[in-house]
């Protein structure tokens, strides 16, 4: 079923559209994402299952494009959006990735009435709500989850054999890396066939060097990209790259995680979607801790969905968004995805040990926005940083990297 709204605001017709679609059943819905592996794919299919139960006869088109952090999907989405052929809804990182790409350019519908009707202003934390707004103060996407980016995952048996404990500081990281290397184990697994993974690692090193406030200041102009804190992080990163697997440029993030699972590598620094990958693979001998120097800091990102103005199946899309933000949807999706609820009222007993730990950290840690995953910097700025990282990982020239990062920040400030 399709209902076209001409001249009316979303609030006038929202309830009628949603209830009509659910009553009649059937319909079609195209959901665009990059959830193709392990727990993320399982979580998406669980949401589809609920959507079809709520609306019998619904046809769902699972439009996925493989590639970590959406590196390939974003290019495909751009072509479709600019070509006037949007999916009904698409996965996008909450924050600058959505607002600076599709909201300011006028491609998205505001969702204020949906938020009010669903009561989400009472169930999503204030900090999350602010990241869902455009510059006009209106809501433009519904968060499905909260991920933590700055997690160190380690093989328990490899650590035990090497006589090592999870490193709490950057200095301890190098001590542990030397122990693992002496035991014949690659210390740090990296899979940066998409450069975002190197940027992801770098953001955790920046947090360890600058602390929460200093790291936040990189995105507000309060922290100087040409300062000693950034140089300290780059120097530490150069040393870390000396401990990674030689084939890192040919591996994806999950293939790097496989090295840890197999005990061929001792550690990897990646987001908590690793937990979902491990669960999907039946892995039990991998532990977790904050990335070195990141204790007390929660490097956050969120997957969210919005409503393109030209969505072909508006009624079904509104039903989908309501499901994404619901308690039922988030409790079904997140334990499989390897993330915690964006809502504050989910039942923690439904989640595994890692996610219960993450829930507790979320309540008490300082929250900072992820760089590699679209929360901290607008897309053009992130592109400049990724370009700098590509040269840096290859050449390991900290001075050159700092000049390029400083120039990228200056260029972003002009726009």
The mean predicted confidence, pLDDT, of the chain is 92
| pLDDT tens per residue, range 111-161 | 999 999 999 999 998 889 988 999 999 999 999 999 999 999 999 999 999
Check residue 20 and give its pLDDT: 47
- Region of residue 397 (phi > 0: left; psi between -120 and 50: alpha; otherwise: beta): beta
What domains does the chain contain, in order, with CATH numbers?
10-146+300-359 (3.40.190.10), 148-298+366-414 (3.40.190.10)
Check residue 9 and give its pLDDT: 44
CA distance 353 to 363: 16
| pLDDT tens per residue, range 53-110 | 999 999 999 999 988 778 799 999 999 999 999 999 999 999 888 898 999 999 999 9
Please tell me the least confidently modeled range out of 2-6, 101-105, 152-156, 277-281: 2-6
Check residue 25 and give its pLDDT: 58
Q: What angle do CA 94, 302, 266 make, to 5 degrees?
A: 135
Residues 185-189, mean pLDDT to the nearest whole number: 98
pTM (whole model) above 0.75:
yes
| pLDDT tens per residue, range 96-109 | 888 989 999 999 99
Q: If you ran DSSP here, which 8-state letter would residue 90 be given? A: E
Q: Is the pLDDT of residue 411 over 80?
A: yes
| pLDDT tens per residue, range 344-353 | 999 999 999 9
The alpha carbon of 248 is separated from its chain's Cα centroid by a whole number of angstroms, namely 21
Q: Is the pLDDT of residue 18 over 50?
A: no
Check residue 87 and give its pLDDT: 98
Q: Is the pLDDT of residue 323 over 80?
A: yes
Are 315 and 17 in contact, with CB atoms under 8 Å apart? yes
Residues 171-189, mean pLDDT to the nearest whole number: 98
DSSP string of 203-267, one letter each residue:
HHHHHHHHHHHHHHHTTTTSS-TTSHHHHHHHHHHHHHHTTB-TTGGG--HHHHHHHHHTTSEEE
Check residue 151 and give its pLDDT: 98
Q: How does residue 363 score in pLDDT terms, banded at 50, 70 and 90? A: confident
Are 304 and 142 in contact, with CB atoms under 8 Å apart? yes
Backbone angles phi, psi at 147, to 5 degrees: -105, 155
| pLDDT tens per residue, range 196-250 | 999 999 999 999 999 999 999 999 999 999 999 999 999 999 999 999 999 999 9
Check residue 2 and give its pLDDT: 35
């Amino acid at each position: 079923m399709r209902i076209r709204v001409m001249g009316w605001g979303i609030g006038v017709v929202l309830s009628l559209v949603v209830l009509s679609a659910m009553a009649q059943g059937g319909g079609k819905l195209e959901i665009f994402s990059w959830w193709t592996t392990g727990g993320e794919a399982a979580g998406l299919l669980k949401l589809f299952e609920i959507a079809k139960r709520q609306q019998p006869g619904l046809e769902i088109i699972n439009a996925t494009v493989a590639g970590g952090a959406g590196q390939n999907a974003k290019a495909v989405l751009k072509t479709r959006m600019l070509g006037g052929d949007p999916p009904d809804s698409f996965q996008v990182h909450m924050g600058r990735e959505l607002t600076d790409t599709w909201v300011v350019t006028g491609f998205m519908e505001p969702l204020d009435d949906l938020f009010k009707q669903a009561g989400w202003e009472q169930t999503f934390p204030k900090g999350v709500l602010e990241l869902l707004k455009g510059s006009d103060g209106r809501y433009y996407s519904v968060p499905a989850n909260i991920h933590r980016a700055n997690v160190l995952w380690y093989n328990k048996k490899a650590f035990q054999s090497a006589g090592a404990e999870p490193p709490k500081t950057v200095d301890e990281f190098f001590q542990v890396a030397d122990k693992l290397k002496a035991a014949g184990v690659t210390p740090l697994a990296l899979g940066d066939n998409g450069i975002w993974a190197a940027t992801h690692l770098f953001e955790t090193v920046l947090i360890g060097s600058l602390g929460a406030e200093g790291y936040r200041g990189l995105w507000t102009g309060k922290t100087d990209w040409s300062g000693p804190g950034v140089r300290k992080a780059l120097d530490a990163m150069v040393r870390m790259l000396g401990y990674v697997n030689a084939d890192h440029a040919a591996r994806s993030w999950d293939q790097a995680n496989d090295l840890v699972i197999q005990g061929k590598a001792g550690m990897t620094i990646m987001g908590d979607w690793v937990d979902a990958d491990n669960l999907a693979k039946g892995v039990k001998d991998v532990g977790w801790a904050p990335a070195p120097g990141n204790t007390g800091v929660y490097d956050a990102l969120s997957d969210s969905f919005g409503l393109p103005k030209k969505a072909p199946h508006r009624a079904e899309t509104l039903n989908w968004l309501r499901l994404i933000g619901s308690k039922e949807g988030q409790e079904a999706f997140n334990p499989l995805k390897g993330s915690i609820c964006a809502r504050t009222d989910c039942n923690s007993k439904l989640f595994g040990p890692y996610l219960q730990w993450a829930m507790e950290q979320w309540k008490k840690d300082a929250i900072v926005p992820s760089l590699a995953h679209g929360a901290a910097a607008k897309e053009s700025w992130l592109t400049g940083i990724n370009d700098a990282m590509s040269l840096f990982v290859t050449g390991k020239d900290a001075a050159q990297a700092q000049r390029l990062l400083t120039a990228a920040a200056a260029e972003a400030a002009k726009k």
